[in-house]
Chains A and B, each alone.
Chain A
């Protein structure tokens, strides 16, 4: 299911981003509102705030909205499993002219440059609806300094090998 969602979202990003005029006829509109506050440092928790608006004259039912994230550096989709506990938001019904808020809390796991969009799949509709892409960067951060551990991680096994060799040398001298 996850793979299917990822595949659909990437295809949606690639195909529908170039077909904005065709999508303008869609009764639903998706917007990312928090694009300016998205960038941060790895380890940060941020909120992706968006909204879904129904500009048509009739209500729309059974809408599943979810985030689609692409690493623009590696050109690969990102599995959101580690990034967010809230995968998809289901909207039972949205009335005509109504706008509903959408919020996801995400954890910046990997540093890098990303493109994010909100995607909506409406029951009975073949094509998904997608918001404009929002670009953001996640800066690298380490809580711990790995430099401290390297001398011990390398030094201690070497010290033990040295101690064993010394033991062997002393034993060989004692019992030639």
Chain B
């Protein structure tokens, strides 16, 4: 049943070339970014490792944006188009329903990753960091996509409306990534450091810096960044459980 739901969503979402146009736009973003980085006179003076770090941030940001926007409609569309009742008339459990939708989000992330991989390979050529960059981008991408998708699903069950879910999810994503705009002086304050230690995106970017710029490639050296990210996923999982419990209690028709 889970597989059926996954394939139904993929066919509905990715069947026509128009619904895949975002993939082309993502590819163009990576093309422009990597070409600009390597050909711009001043940027090309950066160390290759710093360039890889910048590229990995662009890849993860683009992937998160795509996944959050698309995931926002995965569950809410069932409510708005009133198809959720029909779905639950079929022998489909709530767990299968959520897992099927989660699989769709991961498929989108996998597509973005596949599109990004050639750029990573050519940009990291000669740096001996290709495998590390591919591996850590996959790991951190999967964890952040998991955390944010769980959050989006929980919000979807609470709101049952695309507009509210999308607005809330994008605001949370923006709030998480806004510290990337802070100057290094601002980041040094105790409050900013405390926030950064629990912010999933801060930990992801800091760990990628650790791996790609400081050559701390082993997982052990990145556990301090990885654990908060796992914690974020666990918290979002708890939030989703709460939302599912509320949904089970209230039923499909809210009032």
Question: Which of A2-10, A14-22, A125-133, A152-160 has 4 or more CB atoms under 8 Å from chain B?
Answer: A152-160
Q: For the complex formed, measure the closest distance between the CB of A160 and the CB atoms of chain B, giving whole angstroms.
A: 5
The answer to whether B115 and A146 have CB atoms under 8 Å apart is no
- Size of B's binding interface in residues, CB under 8 A: 30
The answer to whether A161 and B24 have CB atoms under 8 Å apart is yes
Residue of B nearest to A110 (CB): B41
The answer to whether A148 and B122 have CB atoms under 8 Å apart is yes
The answer to whether B42 and A109 have CB atoms under 8 Å apart is yes
| Contact pattern, B 74-105, Cβ under 8 Å of A = 1, otherwise 0 | 00000000000000000000000000000000
**A interface: dominant SS:** helix
The answer to whether A43 and B45 have CB atoms under 8 Å apart is yes
* Residue of A82, A157, A167 touching B17 (CB-CB under 8 A): A167
| Contact pattern, B 23-44, Cβ under 8 Å of A = 1, otherwise 0 | 1100110111011001101101
Residue of B nearest to A44 (CB): B45
Question: Which of B46-54, B135-143, B154-162 has 4 or more CB atoms under 8 Å from chain A?
Answer: B46-54
Judge whether A168 is part of the interface by a CB distance below 8 angstroms: yes
Give Cα A142–Cα B30 distance, bound, in whole angstroms: 20
Give Cα A82–Cα B47 distance, bound, in whole angstroms: 16
The answer to whether B17 and A149 have CB atoms under 8 Å apart is no
| Contact pattern, A 151-176, Cβ under 8 Å of B = 1, otherwise 0 | 01110110011001101100100000
Instruction: Known A82-B42, A165-B17, A168-B17; judge A149-B123 contact (CB<8 A).
Output: yes
- B45 surroundings in chain A (CB, below 8 A): 42-43, 109, 141, 143
Give Cα A143–Cα B118 distance, bound, in whole angstroms: 20
The answer to whether A160 and B48 have CB atoms under 8 Å apart is no
Interface centre among A110, A141, A152, A171 (most CB of B within 10 A): A152
The answer to whether A164 and B125 have CB atoms under 8 Å apart is no
Judge whether A150 is part of the interface by a CB distance below 8 angstroms: yes
The answer to whether B46 and A143 have CB atoms under 8 Å apart is yes
| Contact pattern, B 234-255, Cβ under 8 Å of A = 1, otherwise 0 | 0000000000000000000000
Q: Which of A81-110 contact B (CB under 8 A)?
A: 82, 109-110
The answer to whether A146 and B44 have CB atoms under 8 Å apart is yes
- B15 surroundings in chain A (CB, below 8 A): 171
Instruction: Known A109-B42, A171-B16; judge A156-B27 contact (CB<8 A).
Output: yes
Judge whether B109 is part of the interface by a CB distance below 8 angstroms: no
Judge whether B119 is part of the interface by a CB distance below 8 angstroms: yes
* Residue of B34, B41, B46, B115 touching A149 (CB-CB under 8 A): B34
The answer to whether B123 and A143 have CB atoms under 8 Å apart is no
- B227 surroundings in chain A (CB, below 8 A): none
Q: Which of A19-66 contact B (CB under 8 A)?
A: 42-43
Judge whether B20 is part of the interface by a CB distance below 8 angstroms: yes
The answer to whether A149 and B122 have CB atoms under 8 Å apart is yes
The answer to whether B118 and A152 have CB atoms under 8 Å apart is yes
- A157 surroundings in chain B (CB, below 8 A): 24, 27-28, 31
Give Cα A82–Cα B41 distance, bound, in whole angstroms: 13
A-B contact pairs, 21 of them (CB 8 A): A42-B41, A43-B45, A82-B42, A109-B45, A111-B41, A142-B44, A144-B38, A146-B35, A146-B44, A148-B38, A149-B119, A152-B119, A153-B34, A153-B35, A153-B119, A156-B31, A156-B118, A160-B27, A164-B20, A167-B17, A168-B17
Beyond contacts A82-B42, A148-B125, A156-B30: 15 other A-B pairs, Cβ-Cβ < 8 A, are A42-B41, A42-B45, A110-B41, A111-B41, A142-B44, A144-B51, A146-B35, A148-B38, A150-B35, A153-B32, A156-B118, A161-B24, A164-B20, A167-B17, A171-B16
